Protein backbone atom coordinates (compact mmCIF):
# COMPACT_ATOMS: atom_id res chain seq x y z
CA UNK A 1 0.00 0.00 0.00
CA UNK A 2 1.31 3.40 -0.96
CA UNK A 3 -0.12 6.83 -0.12
CA UNK A 4 0.73 10.46 -0.68
CA UNK A 5 -0.96 13.90 -0.42
CA UNK A 6 -3.16 15.05 -3.31
CA UNK A 7 -1.84 17.97 -5.37
CA UNK A 8 -3.94 21.11 -4.73
CA UNK A 9 -4.97 22.97 -7.96
CA UNK A 10 -7.91 25.22 -9.01
CA UNK A 11 -10.90 23.65 -10.71
CA UNK A 12 -10.95 24.37 -14.47
CA UNK A 13 -14.67 23.81 -14.98
CA UNK A 14 -14.09 22.23 -18.36
CA UNK A 15 -14.27 23.93 -21.72
CA UNK A 16 -16.02 27.29 -21.93
CA UNK A 17 -19.57 27.26 -23.30
CA UNK A 18 -19.60 29.06 -26.66
CA UNK A 19 -22.89 27.75 -28.05
CA UNK A 20 -26.10 29.81 -28.05
CA UNK A 21 -29.19 28.33 -26.38
CA UNK A 22 -31.18 25.85 -28.50
CA UNK A 23 -34.95 25.98 -28.80
CA UNK A 24 -36.53 22.72 -27.64
CA UNK A 25 -40.15 23.62 -28.24
CA UNK A 26 -42.51 26.53 -28.86
CA UNK A 27 -46.11 26.66 -27.70
CA UNK A 28 -47.85 27.12 -30.04
CA UNK A 29 -45.49 25.84 -32.73
CA UNK A 30 -43.62 28.33 -34.92
CA UNK A 31 -45.62 29.09 -38.10
CA UNK A 32 -48.90 28.10 -36.43
CA UNK A 33 -52.23 29.22 -37.92
CA UNK A 34 -55.58 30.03 -36.32
CA UNK A 35 -53.88 31.40 -33.21
CA UNK A 36 -56.56 32.53 -30.71
CA UNK A 37 -54.70 33.25 -27.49
CA UNK A 38 -52.38 35.95 -26.19
CA UNK A 39 -49.53 33.89 -24.69
CA UNK A 40 -46.53 32.25 -26.40
CA UNK A 41 -43.92 30.14 -24.60
CA UNK A 42 -40.42 29.30 -25.85
CA UNK A 43 -38.45 26.56 -24.04
CA UNK A 44 -34.66 26.16 -24.41
CA UNK A 45 -32.02 23.62 -23.44
CA UNK A 46 -30.42 25.89 -20.81
CA UNK A 47 -31.16 28.86 -18.60
CA UNK A 48 -31.82 31.97 -20.71
CA UNK A 49 -32.17 35.73 -20.37
CA UNK A 50 -33.55 38.53 -22.54
CA UNK A 51 -31.47 41.70 -23.02
CA UNK A 52 -32.36 45.14 -24.41
CA UNK A 53 -35.76 43.81 -25.40
CA UNK A 54 -37.23 47.27 -26.07
CA UNK A 55 -34.68 47.88 -28.84
CA UNK A 56 -34.15 44.33 -30.09
CA UNK A 57 -37.70 42.97 -30.37
CA UNK A 58 -39.60 43.90 -33.54
CA UNK A 59 -43.27 42.93 -33.77
CA UNK A 60 -45.09 43.32 -37.08
CA UNK A 61 -47.72 44.41 -37.63
CA UNK A 62 -47.07 46.83 -34.79
CA UNK A 63 -49.52 46.38 -31.87
CA UNK A 64 -50.71 49.34 -29.82
CA UNK A 65 -48.78 48.04 -26.83
CA UNK A 66 -45.66 45.90 -27.05
CA UNK A 67 -46.05 42.43 -25.55
CA UNK A 68 -44.60 41.64 -22.13
CA UNK A 69 -41.53 39.40 -22.47
CA UNK A 70 -40.23 37.55 -19.41
CA UNK A 71 -37.44 34.99 -19.02
CA UNK A 72 -37.65 32.50 -16.17
CA UNK A 73 -35.37 29.49 -15.96
CA UNK A 74 -35.25 27.82 -19.35
CA UNK A 75 -38.45 29.46 -20.63
CA UNK A 76 -39.35 32.77 -22.26
CA UNK A 77 -42.98 33.89 -22.08
CA UNK A 78 -44.46 36.45 -24.48
CA UNK A 79 -47.79 37.90 -23.41
CA UNK A 80 -49.81 40.29 -25.62
CA UNK A 81 -51.74 42.98 -23.73
CA UNK A 82 -54.47 43.31 -26.38
CA UNK A 83 -56.59 41.25 -28.76
CA UNK A 84 -54.80 40.52 -32.00
CA UNK A 85 -56.10 41.43 -35.45
CA UNK A 86 -58.09 38.72 -37.24
CA UNK A 87 -56.70 36.92 -40.30
CA UNK A 88 -53.28 38.51 -39.81
CA UNK A 89 -49.78 37.08 -39.91
CA UNK A 90 -47.60 38.27 -37.01
CA UNK A 91 -43.84 38.16 -36.90
CA UNK A 92 -41.71 38.46 -33.76
CA UNK A 93 -38.07 39.18 -34.59
CA UNK A 94 -35.86 39.01 -31.49
CA UNK A 95 -32.60 40.36 -32.96
CA UNK A 96 -29.90 39.76 -30.31
CA UNK A 97 -32.26 39.77 -27.33
CA UNK A 98 -32.08 36.05 -26.42
CA UNK A 99 -28.90 34.78 -24.73
CA UNK A 100 -27.89 32.06 -22.30
CA UNK A 101 -27.61 33.01 -18.64
CA UNK A 102 -23.98 32.15 -17.86
CA UNK A 103 -21.86 33.12 -20.88
CA UNK A 104 -24.34 35.46 -22.65
CA UNK A 105 -24.04 33.53 -25.91
CA UNK A 106 -26.59 35.16 -28.21
CA UNK A 107 -29.21 33.35 -30.28
CA UNK A 108 -29.06 35.81 -33.16
CA UNK A 109 -32.02 36.87 -35.29
CA UNK A 110 -34.57 34.40 -33.97
CA UNK A 111 -37.90 34.68 -35.84
CA UNK A 112 -41.26 33.50 -34.53
CA UNK A 113 -44.25 33.65 -36.87
CA UNK A 114 -47.92 32.85 -36.41
CA UNK A 115 -51.25 33.71 -38.01
CA UNK A 116 -54.63 34.49 -36.48
CA UNK A 117 -56.14 33.26 -39.77
CA UNK A 118 -55.89 30.05 -41.73
CA UNK A 119 -52.76 30.92 -43.76
CA UNK A 120 -49.33 32.45 -43.22
CA UNK A 121 -48.88 35.49 -45.49
CA UNK A 122 -45.79 34.96 -47.60
CA UNK A 123 -45.32 38.15 -49.62
CA UNK A 124 -42.39 40.45 -48.92
CA UNK A 125 -40.87 43.79 -49.93
CA UNK A 126 -37.14 44.28 -50.41
CA UNK A 127 -35.02 47.22 -51.45
CA UNK A 128 -32.05 49.44 -50.81
CA UNK A 129 -31.93 52.77 -48.98
CA UNK A 130 -29.34 55.28 -50.22
CA UNK A 131 -28.49 58.82 -49.20
CA UNK A 132 -29.87 61.16 -51.87
CA UNK A 133 -26.89 63.52 -51.74
CA UNK A 134 -23.94 61.13 -51.85
CA UNK A 135 -25.67 57.88 -52.94
CA UNK A 136 -24.06 55.96 -50.07
CA UNK A 137 -25.95 53.10 -48.38
CA UNK A 138 -27.86 54.06 -45.24
CA UNK A 139 -27.39 51.53 -42.44
CA UNK A 140 -29.61 51.10 -39.38
CA UNK A 141 -32.42 53.16 -40.92
CA UNK A 142 -36.04 52.33 -40.07
CA UNK A 143 -38.09 51.28 -43.10
CA UNK A 144 -41.83 51.43 -42.38
CA UNK A 145 -44.96 50.40 -44.28
CA UNK A 146 -48.26 52.23 -43.80
CA UNK A 147 -51.77 51.73 -45.15
CA UNK A 148 -51.79 52.94 -48.75
CA UNK A 149 -54.85 55.15 -48.11
CA UNK A 150 -53.04 57.25 -45.49
CA UNK A 151 -51.77 60.76 -46.26
CA UNK A 152 -48.06 61.55 -46.34
CA UNK A 153 -48.31 63.10 -42.88
CA UNK A 154 -48.92 59.64 -41.38
CA UNK A 155 -45.18 59.24 -40.79
CA UNK A 156 -45.35 62.15 -38.30
CA UNK A 157 -48.39 60.78 -36.44
CA UNK A 158 -48.42 57.00 -36.42
CA UNK A 159 -46.07 54.08 -35.99
CA UNK A 160 -45.72 51.88 -39.08
CA UNK A 161 -47.79 48.72 -39.49
CA UNK A 162 -44.69 46.81 -40.60
CA UNK A 163 -41.07 47.89 -40.18
CA UNK A 164 -37.49 46.73 -40.14
CA UNK A 165 -33.94 48.14 -40.04
CA UNK A 166 -31.50 48.36 -42.93
CA UNK A 167 -28.31 46.32 -43.00
CA UNK A 168 -24.73 47.61 -43.21
CA UNK A 169 -25.14 47.77 -46.99
CA UNK A 170 -28.43 49.68 -46.82
CA UNK A 171 -30.59 46.70 -47.82
CA UNK A 172 -33.80 45.60 -46.10
CA UNK A 173 -36.52 42.95 -46.29
CA UNK A 174 -39.99 43.03 -44.74
CA UNK A 175 -41.47 39.54 -44.81
CA UNK A 176 -44.82 37.84 -44.14
CA UNK A 177 -46.89 40.57 -45.78
CA UNK A 178 -50.46 40.23 -47.04
CA UNK A 179 -51.53 41.30 -50.51
CA UNK A 180 -52.29 44.97 -49.80
CA UNK A 181 -51.47 48.54 -50.76
CA UNK A 182 -48.70 50.23 -48.76
CA UNK A 183 -46.90 53.55 -48.55
CA UNK A 184 -43.22 53.17 -47.70
CA UNK A 185 -41.05 55.56 -45.68
CA UNK A 186 -37.50 55.30 -44.39
CA UNK A 187 -36.16 57.53 -41.62
CA UNK A 188 -33.32 57.76 -39.12
CA UNK A 189 -35.26 57.18 -35.92
CA UNK A 190 -32.93 59.01 -33.54
CA UNK A 191 -35.20 58.94 -30.49
CA UNK A 192 -36.50 55.41 -31.26
CA UNK A 193 -40.17 56.35 -31.15
CA UNK A 194 -40.92 54.78 -34.57
CA UNK A 195 -42.11 58.13 -35.92
CA UNK A 196 -40.49 60.81 -38.05
CA UNK A 197 -39.68 63.88 -35.96
CA UNK A 198 -38.90 66.48 -38.59
CA UNK A 199 -35.78 68.01 -40.05
CA UNK A 200 -33.33 66.63 -37.48
CA UNK A 201 -33.88 63.17 -38.97
CA UNK A 202 -33.34 61.95 -42.52
CA UNK A 203 -36.44 60.83 -44.42
CA UNK A 204 -37.34 59.04 -47.65
CA UNK A 205 -40.70 58.18 -49.23
CA UNK A 206 -41.99 56.35 -52.26
CA UNK A 207 -44.91 58.68 -53.12
CA UNK A 208 -47.53 56.51 -54.78
CA UNK A 209 -48.77 53.43 -52.87
CA UNK A 210 -47.39 50.05 -53.92
CA UNK A 211 -49.41 46.83 -53.91
CA UNK A 212 -47.47 43.81 -52.71
CA UNK A 213 -46.83 41.05 -55.20
CA UNK A 214 -44.10 38.51 -55.84
CA UNK A 215 -40.67 40.21 -55.79
CA UNK A 216 -41.89 43.68 -54.80
CA UNK A 217 -38.92 46.08 -54.70
CA UNK A 218 -38.97 49.60 -53.24
CA UNK A 219 -35.70 51.56 -53.36
CA UNK A 220 -35.64 54.88 -51.53
CA UNK A 221 -33.28 57.84 -51.09
CA UNK A 222 -33.05 59.68 -47.80
CA UNK A 223 -32.76 63.45 -47.48
CA UNK A 224 -32.87 66.10 -44.80
CA UNK A 225 -35.75 68.54 -45.06
CA UNK A 226 -35.22 72.28 -44.75
CA UNK A 227 -36.69 73.39 -41.45
CA UNK A 228 -39.73 75.66 -41.72
CA UNK A 229 -38.54 77.50 -38.62
CA UNK A 230 -35.34 79.45 -38.25
CA UNK A 231 -33.66 79.55 -34.87
CA UNK A 232 -30.26 80.07 -33.30
CA UNK A 233 -28.46 76.90 -32.25
CA UNK A 234 -25.36 78.44 -30.72
CA UNK A 235 -23.88 81.81 -29.76
CA UNK A 236 -20.32 82.17 -28.57
CA UNK A 237 -17.51 84.67 -28.21
CA UNK A 238 -14.35 82.52 -28.12
CA UNK A 239 -12.12 85.54 -27.44
CA UNK A 240 -12.51 89.28 -27.26
CA UNK A 241 -13.41 90.95 -30.54
CA UNK A 242 -15.25 88.07 -32.25
CA UNK A 243 -18.58 86.30 -31.69
CA UNK A 244 -20.44 83.94 -33.94
CA UNK A 245 -24.09 83.02 -34.34
CA UNK A 246 -24.90 79.54 -35.67
CA UNK A 247 -28.38 78.96 -37.12
CA UNK A 248 -30.24 75.71 -37.69
CA UNK A 249 -30.30 76.31 -41.46
CA UNK A 250 -28.90 78.47 -44.23
CA UNK A 251 -29.45 82.19 -43.67
CA UNK A 252 -29.50 84.38 -46.76
CA UNK A 253 -31.42 87.50 -45.77
CA UNK A 254 -30.75 87.87 -42.07
CA UNK A 255 -30.56 91.42 -40.75
CA UNK A 256 -28.74 92.24 -37.54
CA UNK A 257 -29.28 95.52 -35.74
CA UNK A 258 -27.58 96.78 -32.61
CA UNK A 259 -28.11 99.30 -29.88
CA UNK A 260 -27.59 102.82 -31.21
CA UNK A 261 -24.48 103.36 -29.11
CA UNK A 262 -22.91 100.18 -30.52
CA UNK A 263 -23.50 100.57 -34.26
CA UNK A 264 -20.10 102.07 -35.04
CA UNK A 265 -18.31 99.38 -33.08
CA UNK A 266 -19.93 96.26 -34.58
CA UNK A 267 -19.80 94.72 -38.02
CA UNK A 268 -20.89 91.33 -39.39
CA UNK A 269 -19.51 88.87 -41.92
CA UNK A 270 -21.35 85.83 -43.31
CA UNK A 271 -18.55 83.32 -43.29
CA UNK A 272 -20.69 80.24 -43.83
CA UNK A 273 -24.27 79.69 -44.97
CA UNK A 274 -25.51 78.98 -41.47
CA UNK A 275 -23.03 81.08 -39.50
CA UNK A 276 -22.68 84.83 -39.06
CA UNK A 277 -19.54 86.28 -37.48
CA UNK A 278 -19.87 89.44 -35.41
CA UNK A 279 -16.77 91.59 -35.00
CA UNK A 280 -16.87 94.16 -32.21
CA UNK A 281 -14.66 96.75 -30.49
CA UNK A 282 -14.89 99.15 -27.54
CA UNK A 283 -17.77 97.10 -26.06
CA UNK A 284 -17.43 95.35 -22.73
CA UNK A 285 -19.46 93.17 -20.38
CA UNK A 286 -22.38 92.43 -22.76
CA UNK A 287 -22.79 92.41 -26.53
CA UNK A 288 -26.45 93.17 -27.37
CA UNK A 289 -27.82 92.18 -30.77
CA UNK A 290 -31.30 92.11 -32.35
CA UNK A 291 -31.75 89.69 -35.25
CA UNK A 292 -34.51 90.41 -37.77
CA UNK A 293 -35.66 88.94 -41.08
CA UNK A 294 -36.98 91.07 -43.95
CA UNK A 295 -40.77 91.27 -43.86
CA UNK A 296 -40.99 89.58 -40.50
CA UNK A 297 -40.95 90.40 -36.78
CA UNK A 298 -37.91 90.38 -34.52
CA UNK A 299 -36.90 86.74 -34.30
CA UNK A 300 -34.22 86.86 -31.62
CA UNK A 301 -32.74 89.16 -29.03
CA UNK A 302 -29.35 87.95 -27.90
CA UNK A 303 -27.00 89.03 -25.15
CA UNK A 304 -23.48 87.65 -25.37
CA UNK A 305 -21.36 87.85 -22.22
CA UNK A 306 -17.92 89.21 -23.13
CA UNK A 307 -14.85 90.43 -21.23
CA UNK A 308 -14.98 93.42 -18.93
CA UNK A 309 -12.73 96.36 -19.71
CA UNK A 310 -10.44 95.53 -16.78
CA UNK A 311 -10.14 91.92 -17.90
CA UNK A 312 -9.39 92.97 -21.47
CA UNK A 313 -6.62 95.35 -20.35
CA UNK A 314 -5.18 92.60 -18.17
CA UNK A 315 -5.16 90.18 -21.12
CA UNK A 316 -3.30 92.75 -23.22
CA UNK A 317 -0.75 93.28 -20.48
CA UNK A 318 -0.20 89.55 -20.00
CA UNK A 319 -0.21 88.92 -23.78
CA UNK A 320 -3.07 86.41 -23.40
CA UNK A 321 -5.06 87.89 -26.26
CA UNK A 322 -3.76 85.80 -29.15
CA UNK A 323 -4.04 87.09 -32.71
CA UNK A 324 -3.92 84.12 -35.09
CA UNK A 325 -2.83 84.45 -38.72
CA UNK A 326 -3.62 81.82 -41.35
CA UNK A 327 -1.94 81.79 -44.74
CA UNK A 328 -4.18 80.49 -47.53
CA UNK A 329 -4.23 78.42 -49.62
CA UNK A 330 -1.61 76.13 -48.15
CA UNK A 331 -1.87 72.33 -48.13
CA UNK A 332 1.77 71.30 -47.84
CA UNK A 333 2.04 70.35 -51.53
CA UNK A 334 3.24 73.68 -52.80
CA UNK A 335 1.41 76.87 -53.69
CA UNK A 336 -0.48 76.81 -57.00
CA UNK A 337 1.47 79.19 -59.23
CA UNK A 338 -1.83 80.67 -60.50
CA UNK A 339 -3.34 81.12 -57.00
CA UNK A 340 -3.99 84.37 -55.16
CA UNK A 341 -2.65 83.87 -51.63
CA UNK A 342 -4.23 85.65 -48.69
CA UNK A 343 -3.63 86.51 -45.06
CA UNK A 344 -6.62 85.61 -42.87
CA UNK A 345 -6.60 86.99 -39.32
CA UNK A 346 -8.73 85.89 -36.39
CA UNK A 347 -9.99 89.36 -35.53
CA UNK A 348 -11.14 92.73 -36.88
CA UNK A 349 -8.07 94.33 -38.44
CA UNK A 350 -7.31 98.04 -38.75
CA UNK A 351 -6.15 98.54 -42.32
CA UNK A 352 -5.17 102.15 -41.56
CA UNK A 353 -2.52 100.95 -39.09
CA UNK A 354 -0.68 98.60 -41.45
CA UNK A 355 3.03 99.31 -41.45
CA UNK A 356 4.26 98.45 -44.96
CA UNK A 357 7.86 99.03 -43.90
CA UNK A 358 7.56 95.94 -41.68
CA UNK A 359 6.39 93.67 -44.52
CA UNK A 360 8.78 92.08 -47.02
CA UNK A 361 7.91 89.85 -49.99
CA UNK A 362 11.02 88.15 -51.31
CA UNK A 363 11.97 85.37 -53.72
CA UNK A 364 15.12 84.03 -55.26
CA UNK A 365 15.85 83.43 -58.93
CA UNK A 366 19.42 84.32 -59.98
CA UNK A 367 19.54 86.67 -57.02
CA UNK A 368 17.42 87.52 -53.98
CA UNK A 369 14.68 89.97 -54.90
CA UNK A 370 12.76 91.93 -52.26
CA UNK A 371 9.57 93.82 -53.03
CA UNK A 372 6.83 95.47 -50.95
CA UNK A 373 3.89 93.27 -50.05
CA UNK A 374 0.82 94.27 -52.08
CA UNK A 375 -2.37 93.83 -50.06
CA UNK A 376 -6.04 94.21 -51.06
CA UNK A 377 -8.80 94.16 -48.45
CA UNK A 378 -11.32 91.34 -48.93
CA UNK A 379 -13.28 91.87 -45.70
CA UNK A 380 -12.67 92.83 -42.09
CA UNK A 381 -10.12 90.10 -41.46
CA UNK A 382 -8.85 88.81 -44.83
CA UNK A 383 -6.43 90.45 -47.28
CA UNK A 384 -5.36 89.16 -50.69
CA UNK A 385 -1.73 89.31 -51.81
CA UNK A 386 -1.45 90.93 -55.23
CA UNK A 387 2.20 90.11 -55.93
CA UNK A 388 2.44 87.99 -59.09
CA UNK A 389 3.86 84.52 -58.56
CA UNK A 390 6.49 82.81 -60.73
CA UNK A 391 6.45 79.08 -61.41
CA UNK A 392 8.79 76.79 -59.46
CA UNK A 393 10.10 79.52 -57.17
CA UNK A 394 10.77 79.75 -53.42
CA UNK A 395 9.09 82.66 -51.63
CA UNK A 396 9.30 84.21 -48.17
CA UNK A 397 6.90 86.66 -46.55
CA UNK A 398 8.59 88.41 -43.63
CA UNK A 399 6.36 90.20 -41.13
CA UNK A 400 7.96 92.12 -38.31
CA UNK A 401 6.25 92.67 -34.98
CA UNK A 402 3.54 95.30 -35.26
CA UNK A 403 3.15 94.99 -39.04
CA UNK A 404 -0.59 94.57 -38.43
CA UNK A 405 -2.92 95.77 -35.70
CA UNK A 406 -6.48 94.99 -34.72
CA UNK A 407 -8.98 97.83 -34.31
CA UNK A 408 -8.32 97.53 -30.56
CA UNK A 409 -4.58 98.02 -31.01
CA UNK A 410 -3.42 94.42 -30.60
CA UNK A 411 -0.16 94.03 -32.53
CA UNK A 412 0.74 91.00 -34.63
CA UNK A 413 3.86 89.03 -33.75
CA UNK A 414 6.83 88.64 -36.06
CA UNK A 415 6.40 85.82 -38.55
CA UNK A 416 8.04 84.20 -41.52
CA UNK A 417 5.89 82.43 -44.12
CA UNK A 418 7.73 80.29 -46.67
CA UNK A 419 6.33 78.47 -49.66
CA UNK A 420 7.29 77.19 -53.07
CA UNK A 421 5.17 77.55 -56.19
CA UNK A 422 4.32 74.70 -58.50
CA UNK A 423 4.78 74.63 -62.26
CA UNK A 424 2.49 73.82 -65.14
CA UNK A 425 3.91 70.31 -65.63
CA UNK A 426 2.74 69.41 -62.10
CA UNK A 427 -0.88 69.35 -63.25
CA UNK A 428 -3.18 67.18 -65.32
CA UNK A 429 -5.99 68.02 -67.75
CA UNK A 430 -9.29 66.14 -67.84
CA UNK A 431 -11.41 66.06 -70.99
CA UNK A 432 -14.83 64.90 -69.83
CA UNK A 433 -17.44 63.61 -72.28
CA UNK A 434 -20.93 63.27 -70.80
CA UNK A 435 -23.94 61.62 -72.43
CA UNK A 436 -26.82 63.16 -70.49
CA UNK A 437 -30.18 61.38 -70.05
CA UNK A 438 -32.62 64.33 -70.30
CA UNK A 439 -32.91 67.85 -71.68
CA UNK A 440 -32.45 69.50 -68.29
CA UNK A 441 -29.91 71.81 -66.73
CA UNK A 442 -27.08 70.10 -64.85
CA UNK A 443 -24.43 70.88 -62.27
CA UNK A 444 -21.27 68.88 -62.98
CA UNK A 445 -18.89 68.50 -60.04
CA UNK A 446 -15.45 66.96 -60.09
CA UNK A 447 -14.66 65.58 -56.65
CA UNK A 448 -11.45 64.48 -54.98
CA UNK A 449 -11.08 61.21 -53.12
CA UNK A 450 -12.06 63.01 -49.89
CA UNK A 451 -15.37 64.09 -51.46
CA UNK A 452 -14.14 67.68 -51.74
CA UNK A 453 -15.40 69.65 -54.75
CA UNK A 454 -12.42 70.46 -56.98
CA UNK A 455 -14.27 71.90 -59.96
CA UNK A 456 -17.87 72.81 -60.79
CA UNK A 457 -19.42 73.47 -64.19
CA UNK A 458 -22.97 74.31 -65.22
CA UNK A 459 -24.67 72.94 -68.34
CA UNK A 460 -27.78 74.64 -69.74
CA UNK A 461 -29.69 72.50 -72.21
CA UNK A 462 -32.48 73.46 -74.59
CA UNK A 463 -34.62 71.22 -76.78
CA UNK A 464 -32.08 71.56 -79.58
CA UNK A 465 -29.01 70.98 -77.41
CA UNK A 466 -27.10 67.78 -77.98
CA UNK A 467 -27.18 65.20 -75.19
CA UNK A 468 -23.42 64.88 -75.67
CA UNK A 469 -21.56 67.52 -73.67
CA UNK A 470 -17.81 68.15 -73.39
CA UNK A 471 -16.05 69.78 -70.43
CA UNK A 472 -12.33 70.51 -70.21
CA UNK A 473 -10.90 70.94 -66.71
CA UNK A 474 -7.34 72.20 -66.33
CA UNK A 475 -4.84 72.56 -63.47
CA UNK A 476 -5.76 69.35 -61.64
CA UNK A 477 -3.37 67.81 -59.14
CA UNK A 478 -2.46 64.14 -59.77
CA UNK A 479 -4.75 61.69 -57.99
CA UNK A 480 -8.11 59.94 -58.14
CA UNK A 481 -11.24 61.90 -59.04
CA UNK A 482 -14.96 61.19 -59.27
CA UNK A 483 -17.71 62.88 -61.28
CA UNK A 484 -21.02 63.91 -59.73
CA UNK A 485 -23.90 65.25 -61.85
CA UNK A 486 -26.91 67.04 -60.31
CA UNK A 487 -30.13 67.45 -62.28
CA UNK A 488 -31.06 71.09 -61.63
CA UNK A 489 -34.80 71.12 -62.36
CA UNK A 490 -35.53 74.55 -60.84
CA UNK A 491 -32.38 76.07 -62.39
CA UNK A 492 -31.12 77.69 -59.20
CA UNK A 493 -27.64 76.21 -59.68
CA UNK A 494 -27.62 74.24 -56.44
CA UNK A 495 -28.89 70.90 -55.16
CA UNK A 496 -32.33 71.06 -53.56
CA UNK A 497 -33.55 68.66 -50.93
CA UNK A 498 -37.04 67.15 -50.76
CA UNK A 499 -40.21 67.77 -48.77
CA UNK A 500 -42.65 65.19 -47.42
CA UNK A 501 -45.77 67.35 -47.16
CA UNK A 502 -45.13 68.94 -50.56
CA UNK A 503 -44.56 65.49 -52.07
CA UNK A 504 -41.27 66.71 -53.46
CA UNK A 505 -38.37 64.33 -53.98
CA UNK A 506 -34.79 65.67 -53.77
CA UNK A 507 -33.16 66.58 -57.05
CA UNK A 508 -31.61 63.61 -58.82
CA UNK A 509 -27.91 62.97 -58.42
CA UNK A 510 -25.79 60.72 -60.61
CA UNK A 511 -22.45 59.54 -59.29
CA UNK A 512 -19.70 57.81 -61.23
CA UNK A 513 -18.14 55.49 -58.68
CA UNK A 514 -15.36 54.51 -61.07
CA UNK A 515 -12.31 56.59 -60.09
CA UNK A 516 -10.56 58.67 -62.75
CA UNK A 517 -6.80 58.50 -62.20
CA UNK A 518 -4.97 61.61 -63.35
CA UNK A 519 -1.20 61.89 -63.74
CA UNK A 520 0.96 64.99 -63.84
CA UNK A 521 1.61 66.54 -67.27
CA UNK A 522 -1.00 64.30 -68.94
CA UNK A 523 -4.26 64.96 -70.76
CA UNK A 524 -6.87 62.31 -69.90
CA UNK A 525 -10.19 61.58 -71.57
CA UNK A 526 -13.20 60.03 -69.84
CA UNK A 527 -16.62 59.19 -71.27
CA UNK A 528 -19.67 58.60 -69.07
CA UNK A 529 -23.09 57.60 -70.29
CA UNK A 530 -25.48 58.64 -67.53
CA UNK A 531 -28.64 56.60 -67.00
CATH number at residue 312: 2.60.40
Q: Are residues 350 and 267 part of one domain?
A: no
Is 331 in the same domain as 292? no
**140-170: buried (b, 16+ CB within 10 Å) or exposed (e) per residue?**
ebbbbbbeeeeebebbeeebbbbbbebeeeb
In whole angstroms, what is the distance from residue 495 CA to residue 508 CA? 9
* Residue 322 and residue 239 in contact, taking contact as beta carbons nearer than 8 Å: yes
Looking at the structure, do residues 497 and 519 belong to the same domain, yes or no?
Answer: yes
Domain boundary among 278, 300, 317: 317
For position 401, which CATH number holds? 2.60.40.1220
111 and 42 within one domain: yes
Last residue of a domain, one of 300, 317, 334: 317
Q: Could you list the pLDDT tens digit for every one of the 531 residues in the chain?
A: 555 665 565 555 567 778 999 999 999 999 999 999 999 999 999 999 999 998 889 899 989 899 999 999 999 999 999 999 999 999 999 989 999 998 899 998 899 999 999 999 999 999 999 999 999 999 999 999 999 999 999 999 999 999 999 999 999 999 999 999 999 999 999 988 899 998 789 999 998 999 999 889 999 999 999 887 777 788 888 888 998 888 877 766 555 555 545 667 888 776 557 788 888 999 899 888 777 655 555 566 778 888 899 998 888 877 666 788 888 886 667 899 999 999 999 899 998 888 989 999 999 888 899 999 999 999 889 999 999 999 999 999 999 999 999 998 888 889 999 999 999 999 999 999 999 999 999 999 999 988 899 999 999 998 888 999 999 999 999 999 999 999 999 999 999 999 999 999 999 999 998 999 999 999 999 999 998
Q: Are residues 456 and 510 in the same domain?
A: yes
Q: Cα(316)–Cα(320) distance, rounded to whole angstroms?
A: 6
Residue 453 in domain: yes
5 within domain boundaries: no
Q: Are residues 68 and 85 in the same domain?
A: yes
One domain, residues 293 and 334: no
Residue 305 in any domain: the answer is: yes
* Domain co-membership, 349 together with 419: yes
Q: Is residue 335 included in any domain, yes or no?
A: yes
Residue pair 303/326 in contact by the 8 Å Cβ criterion: no
Nearest to 456 by CA among 436, 431, 416, 484: 484
User: Of 222, 255, 270, which residue constitutes the final position of a domain?
Assistant: 222
Q: How far is CA 448 from CA 14, 134, 453, 457, in A?
A: 56, 13, 7, 15
Q: Looking at residue 21, what is its pLDDT?
A: 94
> Within this chain, do residues 431 and 525 fall inside the same structural domain, yes or no?
yes
Q: Can you tell me the distance from the alpha carbon of 306 to that of 237, in angstroms, rounded to the nearest whole number?
A: 7
Q: Is residue 329 part of a domain?
A: yes
Provide the domain limits for residue 358. Answer: 325-424
**C-alpha angle 157-159-163 in degrees, rounded to nearest 5:** 145
- 15 domain-assigned: no
Same domain, 39 and 91: yes
Determine the length of the chain.
Answer: 531
CATH of the domain at 161: 2.60.40.1120
Inside any domain, residue 227:
no
The 10s digit of each residue's pLDDT in 381-412 is 999 999 999 999 999 999 999 999 999 888 88
Question: Helix or strand or coil: residue 351?
Answer: helix
Q: Which of 336, 440, 449 has the alpha carbon at shortest distance from 395?
A: 336
Q: Give yes or no: residues 102 and 152 share one domain.
A: no
Q: Are residues 469 and 484 in the same domain?
A: yes
Q: Is residue 1 part of a domain?
A: no
CA separation for the pair 512, 510 (Å, rounded): 7
Number of domains in the chain: 5
Backbone angles phi, psi at 310, to 5 degrees: -65, -40
Amino acid sequence: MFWRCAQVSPLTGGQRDTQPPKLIQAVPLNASVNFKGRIIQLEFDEFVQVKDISNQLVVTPQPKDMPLVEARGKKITIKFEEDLLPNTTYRLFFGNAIADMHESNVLSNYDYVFSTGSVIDSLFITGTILNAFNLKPEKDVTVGLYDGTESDSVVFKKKPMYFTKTSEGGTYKISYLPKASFKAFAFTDKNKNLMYDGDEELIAFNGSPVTTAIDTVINLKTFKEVSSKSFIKKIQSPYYGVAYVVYNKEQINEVMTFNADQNNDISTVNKLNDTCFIFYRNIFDTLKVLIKHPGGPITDTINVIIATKDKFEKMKTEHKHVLVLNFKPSDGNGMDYFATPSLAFSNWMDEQSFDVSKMIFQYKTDSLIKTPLQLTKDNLYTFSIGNKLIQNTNYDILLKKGAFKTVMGIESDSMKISFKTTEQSDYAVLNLKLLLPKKENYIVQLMGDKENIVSENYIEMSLTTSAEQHIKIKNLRPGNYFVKVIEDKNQNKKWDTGSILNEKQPELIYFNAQPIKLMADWDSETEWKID
